[in-house]
Each structure stands twice: as C-alpha cells, then as structure tokens.
Structure 1
Amino acid sequence: MKIWTSEHIFDHDWETVVHAAWRKYPNPENRAVTAIDVVDQKFHEGKLVSERILQSHFAIPSWATKLTGFSGTQYSHEYTTIDPNARHMRLTTRNLCGGSFMRVDERLTYRPHASESDKTVLTQEAIVSINLPAFTDYCEKTFLHVYETNAAKGRKGIEWVIDHLRKEVSDLTSKVSTEVHDMQEKVMGAFSQTTRQR
C-alpha cells in the first residue's frame, strides 16, 4: 500500500473554487475523465450530497493489460458533500474496475484558508493498494506517479474553469450593458419624437 498526500492553495475564495471544482470536467487541462453520470443528488441537513460515476481513461503499458486484463478505461464512484454553512467540500472516490488486483481511494477537501479569506486550501490524499505478485511495489509507485501528474492537471483544470466562468460573466455583463444601452437609445428616441410631435 502506498499513500500520496498534497496540499495546494488557490488564490481564489472558497465559493469560486468549489463552483469550479463542481464544474471541472470536461476541461482541456485534464482529459483523463471522459464521462460523468449523476447517480443521486439531494439536499440533506443543509448540505448538497451527490453521487456520481466517473469514466476515465489512462494510457497503460500493454504488459499490464495482458497481466490484469485492465484496458485503461476506469469507472469510479464519487461521493461529494458540500456544506455551504461550514464552507467545506469533501469528495471521496473509489475505483469500480480492477478491484481484484487494485484499489484506489481518493479524498479531496476544499476549505477556506485559515487566515486569508480570499484563498482556498485543497488537501488531497490517494491510497493505492495493488495485489499482483512480484509487481506490487512497482505498480503502486507507477500509479501514484500517474495520479500525482493528473492531480496537477486537475488543479490547472480548476483554474481553467474559473477563467472560463469569469469570461462567461464578463460576456454576459457586456451583452446586458449593450442591450440596456440600445433600449435606452430607443426610449430616448421615441421620447424625442413624441416631444417634437407636440
């Protein structure tokens, strides 16, 4: 069994980061996740609780496919709790494929920075257990290396979503401003015409 942990600080407030984390996939920074299905979603005691199935694809060596039958397409069960009052988001994920030789448990927690309210702390943990005679240590290290690389891509993906959301807001604000201006021009034009007719 191998454990990988990491902590990352986003230069954005908790609400912004959580909104982006919820909309993280698909994004061009991390193409491993190829599909998401919502199994269940509800509000319980003021918290949003969600269960999703994620489909991911990883490039793996052909020898690993021959040894395990694992093609690189992975399905995972994700359980998420978002507590807006406590300002806490937690995701736990476990693989559904390859359980006879591999188990991967992932935990992500998003919380506001303790002293800087405009920042958010992401804590990540992955626990990998592989049951393959003579290959366990190598496979666990290899998988954690892949996981660490994808985790970095995931953080970049959140930044991409935040930029994308800001662009959406900016475009919408610009469109509304233009439409309001056009409406004002029409009203003033109609008012001027009415005044001249009198």
Structure 2
Amino acid sequence: MQDTDTEFRLIAKGMNSAYRYVVNRMVRDFEYKKEELKLRTKFEELEKVFRRLAESNLEQSKNDLYDTVQESYYKDDIPEDAMEELKNIEPDFQKGMFEGMGFAYEQVANYISIMLDTSDKLSEKHINHVLQHIHKNSLIKEEIEESAVTYQEGLTNGIKAGFNMADLEIKGKFQIPN
C-alpha cells in the first residue's frame, strides 16, 4: 500500500474492510449453524439407535432368554439364582416384554423422525418436546407387576421399560439431569 498512489490505497482499504466484514459475518453464521447441525446429527443418530433397538428386541422376542444367555460369552458372570429365575420366566411374558420394548423404541424413533422432518431449526426445546411425548404415553404410568406371567403383562412392562430406557438414553445423549 505504501508504493501505490492515494486512489489505489483508498480502494485497498475499502476492500480490506469489506472482506473483514464478510468474514466476520460468515463466522457468526457458521458457528450458529454448526451447533444446530450438531444437534440434528445427534437426533439422527438417536433415531437410528432406537430403530436398531426396536429390531433387536423384536428378534429377541422370538428366542428364549435363558437360551440366549446360555450362549453368551458372559454367562459365567451371572449368578446362579438369576439363571434359575430366567428359566422360570413364562415364554408368553418374555415375548410380550421384548415386543413391548420394541414397540416403545419404535415409537420414540417415530417421535424423533417426525420432529426432524417438521423442524427447520432445532434447539433444546425440541429435546424437551420428544421427552414430553414419551412421558405423555399412558402405559409409562402403569405399575410393574413382579408376579406378571401373561403376554399382556409382559407387553405392558416392556413398554414401560422401553420408554424409561429411551428417556434415560436421550437425557444422557444431551446431558440433561434426571
């Protein structure tokens, strides 16, 4: 700038100011969108997790839990009295429980999917919105019966457990205190 004439120096100063303004503006906009993109990515990951959990629970409902544990690598770490309890679980209850958990996980994935499809800009309010949908479900308020043996009781217990686990997962993912 020192070697040029006055007119070119003024143009260079003006261009420098304009570029600085544009760069600062882009940085502010990018930082704002970066947080929203991070939030969107977390929600998309959670949706996939809940869909996988729903599938795996539906698959597990077709198999006996005791047999599955017997085939597991960690079976030696499970106390014998717990293994005896697993033997005594009614197959209908077990099937209902896993199908209920699968149902709850699928519902939560649907809540997230709808929210992602209908929201242009995500914020913490959307996290609370999904949690409110979970808590509005009437089956989450049902009492868990210790002596449950029927398919219906297993389904109810599974739905309640699935929604509670989803609630914990979402709060953990977004670091929301319980």
Q: Same fold (TM over 0.5)?
A: no
TM-score scaled to structure 1, two decimals?
0.29
Query: Whose strand proportion is higher, 1 or 2?
Result: 1
- Rg comparison, structure with higher value: 2
Output the TM-score relative to the length of structure 2.
Answer: 0.31
Higher helix share: 2
